Amino acid sequence: MFGYVEPDKPELKIREYEVFRGYYCRLCKTIGKKYGQIPRLTLNYDLTFLYVLLDSLDIRLIEGKRERCLAHPLKKRFVVNPGPNAEYAAAMNILLTYYNLRDKWTDDRNAVSGAASRVLKGSYNKVRREYPEKCEVIEKHLEKLGELEKKGCDVIDEVAELFALIMKELFQGGHVCDGTANKALGWMGYNLGRWIYILDAYDDIEEDIRNNNYNPIVRQYKYNGENIPEFRRRIVEPVNFSLTYSLSEVEKAYSLLNIEKNKGILDNIIYSGLIVKTDKVIQGRGKENEEKSV
Amino acid sequence: MKKNPYKVLGIKEGASYDEIKRAYRELVKKYHPDKYRNNPLADLAEEKLREINEAYESLMKNAGSYQYQESYSQSYENSNAYGDTGQSQYQYQYQQQYDNDLELEQRIRNYINMGNLNEAQRLLDRMTNRGASWYYLQGLIFLRRGWYDRGYSNIQRAVQMDPSNFEYRNALNNLERQTAGFRQNYYYRNTYRQDPDMCNICMHLWCADTCCECMGGDLISCC
C-alpha cells in the first residue's frame, strides 16, 4: 500500500536530491538504532516525505555530515542530523508496516507477510509503549476499516475515509506546536491518505479481481465480468477526478503551511511527484520500478 | 508582530512595481476564497490573504503611487456581491415551495458554513422534497467532509435536474476548474517534457534546409 509519495526525480536539483537522500538515510539509521537492523528494510517513501515535511516546519537550518552505512559501505553519503521528528517518523514507519503486514497475513494468509509481521512484533510493541494514544486511535480506525472491507462496502469515499483518518493522525503527531500548522497538516494528511488508498485500489484492480479480493472500486462500479481494460476505461474518469481533487486539496493545505525550508523538494513532490505517480498508475504503469531505494 | 511585506509577497527587497504586482496577483490567485470554498481551511486562507493584502498595500503606499493600488479587496467585494445575488435569485425560485423546507435549507446552509456537518446532514435527512437543491446541499456536505466522489456525483445530479440554476452550475464548474488547475500547474512547472526530441530536431533541420534551398542556398549539402 505504501511508497506512492515520491519526488519527480528528473525535476529535482542535484542538491535537493542529495538532501532528500540525506533525510532518507537519517530515517533509515534512526530505525536501525532504535529497532535493530531488520526493521530498516521496511523504510518507505511516504514516511520519508512526512519526515521531510515535519522537519521543514522547524526553522533550524539543515545540517548533516558524510557517513558510511551498512547498505553502502564503500561510499560516504550525506546524512542529515537527527531532528526531533526523526524518531517519530521512524516509529510511525514501523507501525504502518506492521499493520499492513498483519493485515495481509489475516486476509490472504500470505506466508511472507506472516513471518515478517512476527519479526516486527517486538519493534511494534516498543512503539506501542512509546505512543499508546496514537496506536489506540489508529487501531480503532483500522478495525473499522477491516469491518467495512469484510462487509464489502461499496462506497469508495467511506472506506477511503478511514485510511485518510489514519494518515491525518500521523501527520498531526510530530513535534509541531503551532495550532494553525497542525490543522493544515491534518487536512493534508487526510487528503493524502485518501489519495493513497484510492490509488492503491485502482492499482490492484486486476489482481483483486483475479484473486476475488475486496476492492472498493470494483465494488462501487459493479464489475460484471467484462474484460479488465474495458472496466478500467469505464471507471477511469470519476476515479481520476477523485484522485486529482484530493491532490488539489493537499496542495491547498500545503500552501497554507508557508514552508521555506526544503521548499524545492516539497514543491517538487506536491506539484509534480504526486501527479506523475497518479498518471503512471492510471496508465497501468504503477508497478514499474517500485521499491527501488534512492 | 508585523511581518516584512517583501517576505510575505515572496520577493526581493527593492523589487520593481511590476514584480510586486505580479507576485501579488499570483498569491491572490493562490489563496483566493473561491478556491477554498467548502474547505475546512478557509479561515486560514482568509488570514493569509489579509496578510498579503496588508503587505501589498503597505508596499504600494510606501511607493506613493496610487495608480497601482487596484486592491484585491475590491474584487473580493465583487465576488461577495455576486454570491449574494446568487442567493437571492435562488430564494426567489423557491418561494412557492413549502416554507418549511425553505427554512430548513437555510439552516442547513448555515450549518455547512459553520462546519457543523453532522447537524447539517441530520436536517438534510429530514427534508421531504428531494429536488435539485437537496442533491446540491448533499453534494456540499460530502465535499466538505472529504468525500469528493459522492460530492461530485451529487452536484452533477443537481445540475442535471435543474440546468438553469446558476449556483449549482457554478459549483460544478468550480470543481472541474480545480482539478484542471492542479494539473495545469504541473505542466506549467515542468518544461522538460516539452523540450524538442530527436524527431522534432530533424524536422526543423529539414525545414530549414528546404527553405534555404528555396532561396538558392543550402544548409545541409548532402540532401
A157, B153: Cβ pair inside 8 Å? Answer: no
User: What are the backbone angles phi and psi of residue A258, rounded to the nearest 5°?
Assistant: 50, 50
B193/A169 Cα distance (integer angstroms) = 37
B146, A161: Cβ pair inside 8 Å? Answer: yes
Q: Is A79 left (phi over 0), alpha (psi -120 to 50) or beta?
A: beta
Average pLDDT, chain B: 77
Q: Chain A to chain B, count of Cβ pairs less than 8 Å apart? A: 87
- Nearest 10 degrees: CA dihedral of A173, A177, A181, A182? 30
- State how far residue B191 is from chain A, nearest Cα, in angstroms: 9
B162/B139 Cα distance (integer angstroms) = 14
A262/A97 Cα distance (integer angstroms) = 26
Count CA atoms within 13 Å of residue A74 on its CB side. 0
- State how far residue A91 is from chain B, nearest Cα, in angstroms: 27
So what's the pLDDT on residue B147? 93
Query: Which residues of B make CB contacts under 8 Å with A?
Result: 30-31, 35-36, 39-41, 44-45, 47-48, 142, 145-150, 152-153, 175, 178-179, 181-183, 185-186, 189-190, 192
B106/B90 Cα distance (integer angstroms) = 11
The answer, for A156 touching chain B at a CB cutoff of 8 Å, is yes
Q: Which amino acid is at B92?
A: Y
Q: Please report, in tens digits, the pLDDT of each residue of chain A (294 residues total).
A: 678 999 999 889 999 999 999 999 999 999 999 998 888 888 889 999 999 999 999 888 888 888 888 777 788 889 999 888 999 999 999 999 998 888 888 777 778 888 888 888 888 899 899 999 999 999 999 999 999 998 999 999 999 999 999 999 999 987 777 788 889 999 999 999 999 999 999 999 998 899 888 999 999 998 888 888 899 999 999 999 999 999 999 999 999 998 989 999 999 999 999 999 999 999 876 665 544 444
Residue A103, C-alpha cell as written in the block: 493485515
Q: What angle do CA B168, B171, B172 make, to 5 degrees?
A: 90
A30/B156 Cα distance (integer angstroms) = 49
Q: Which residue reads 483518518 in cell numbers?
A: A165
List of chain B residues whose C-beta atoms are within 8 Å of the C-beta of residue A11: 189-190, 192
- Residue B28's contacts (CB-CB under 8 Å, 6 or more residues apart) are B49, B52, B72
Return the DSSP state at A75: S
pLDDT of B74 > 50? The answer is no
- State how far residue A245 is from chain B, nearest Cα, in angstroms: 5
Say which residue, B68 or A24, is predicted with more confidence. A24
Q: Which helix (H) or strand (E) holds A55?
A: helix A45-56
**Residue B98 near residue B127, CB atoms below 8 Å:** no
- State how far residue B185 is from chain A, nearest Cα, in angstroms: 7
Q: Which residue reads 438553469 in cell numbers?
A: B164
The answer, for A256 touching chain B at a CB cutoff of 8 Å, is yes
A294/A115 Cα distance (integer angstroms) = 26
Is pTM beyond 0.90? Reply is no
Q: ipTM for the complex? A: 0.81
Among B146, B150, B182, beta carbon nearest to A164: B146
Q: Which amino acid is at B12?
A: K
The answer, for A98 touching chain B at a CB cutoff of 8 Å, is no
So what's the pLDDT on residue B88? 44
The answer, for A196 touching chain B at a CB cutoff of 8 Å, is no
- The residue length of chain B stands at 223
